[in-house]
Homo-oligomer: A and B are copies of this chain.
Amino acid sequence: MANPAKLMDNEVLMAFASYATIILSKMMFMSIATAFFRVTKKVFANPEDCESFGKGENVKKFLRTDESVERVRRAHLNDLENIVPFLGIGLLYSLSGPDLSTALLHFRIFVGSRFYHTMAYLLPLPQPNRGLAFFVGYGVTLSMAYSLLRNRFYL
């Protein structure tokens, strides 16, 4: 009998599951942050979203863009662009049987760098804070990709 729960007895995969869940939950929080800024600043993208603030012509003044909202949305999109490769490459890397301490180092640095990236984006911190956070996470993902392709290259 195949028992996928057994798969999760593997420590690297368990660690990946924990870090992936944490960073995805953080990314999901960006939706809430966007909604918070939209409501507090009264800035909406859809007419049906601001009907409680007014009807007809009155609605149009809420259909605009605002720098705080756009900033959160850019941070969210940057998360998506970087967390998707981490998820795909990280899962396959975890299945390729890496050393536990090396894998943990990758996962921890990536998750830390993305939290720092979001903080640097939203406060905002002066550059190169955000740029460095981006490149650290980027480097971690590429390092896992390299390790994966070196050990398991099959085209």
Contact = CB atoms under 8 A, between A and B. Distances in A.
Interface of A: 1-22, 24-25, 27-28, 30-31, 45-46, 48-49, 51-52, 70-71, 74, 76-77, 80-85, 87-89, 91-92, 94-97, 108, 121, 124-127, 130, 134, 138, 141-142, 145, 148-149, 152-155
B10 A3 contact: yes
B48 A5 contact: no
Determine chain A's interface SS by DSSP, over half rule.
Answer: helix
Each complex incorporates copies of this chain amounting to 3
Contacts of A25: 85, 142, 145
Contacts of A85: 24-25, 27-28
Find the residue from A10, A16, A88 having the highest chain B CB count within 10 A: A88
